[in-house]
Amino acid sequence: MKFRSKLVDIGCIHQLTKVLVAVSKITKTSTLVLSEQQVVFTQNERATSGSGSAALWCELKQADYFEDFRIEGKDNSNMIYLEVINENLLRALKSGQSAQSIKIKLIKKTNSMFNV
């Protein structure tokens, strides 16, 4: 699996940060679904508690946020599914709030999945 993206518009950086703040308030962890066209944050109550339906579904068009977006999944669908702790992802994104651009890269490491 390979994933690399770049945020170059300061407005997009702030908007993505606001989205992550909202997602973090709803749920502690979520499933991040990366595809060629979109980035989706979802949390399925049925999977975790045995009842209910999706409590969270946040879909972002990757073309609206990212300048460079490259993804290679393990199969032909080119999708990557990650379970993320929303607060950790938000903290990493907030660390670059004053930057002119932010590069997000999926790396293979035991403690961290994203390198921002």
Looking at the 3D structure of the chain, how many domains does it have? Answer: 1
Lookup: tokens for 94: 């907030």
Give the pLDDT of residue 1. Answer: 85
116: in domain: no
In one-letter notation, the amino acid at residue 84 is V
Q: CATH number of the domain that 26 lies in?
A: 3.70.10.10
Task: Flag whether 42 is in a domain.
Answer: yes
Which residue in this structure is represented by tokens 């703040």? 21
- The whole-number pLDDT of residue 27 equals 87
113 within some domain: no
Parent domain of 20: 2-108
Instruction: State the pLDDT at residue 60.
Output: 95
Determine contact, residues 43/26, Cβ cutoff 8 Å: yes
> pLDDT at residue 52 above 70?
no
Distance separating alpha carbons of residues 103 and 67, to the nearest angstrom: 10
Question: Is residue 80 in some structural domain?
Answer: yes
For residue range 12-50, what is the model confidence (pLDDT) as tens digits? 999 999 999 999 998 889 999 999 999 999 986 555 555
| Residue 13, domain member (yes or no) | yes
Q: What is d(CA 1, CA 32) in angstroms, rounded to the nearest whole number?
A: 14
Structure tokens at 74: 């393990």
103 in a structural domain: yes
Strand partners, 85: 29
Evaluate whether residue 81 is within a structural domain: yes
Compute how many other C-beta atoms are within 10 angstroms of the C-beta atom of residue 26: 13
Is residue 9 a part of any domain in this protein? Answer: yes
pTM for the model: 0.79
54-61/38-44 β-pairing: antiparallel
With CA atoms as reference, report the closest residue to 12 among 56, 58, 61, 57. 61
Q: For residue range 61-115, list pLDDT tens digits in order.
A: 999 999 999 999 888 888 999 999 999 999 988 888 888 899 999 887 665 555 6
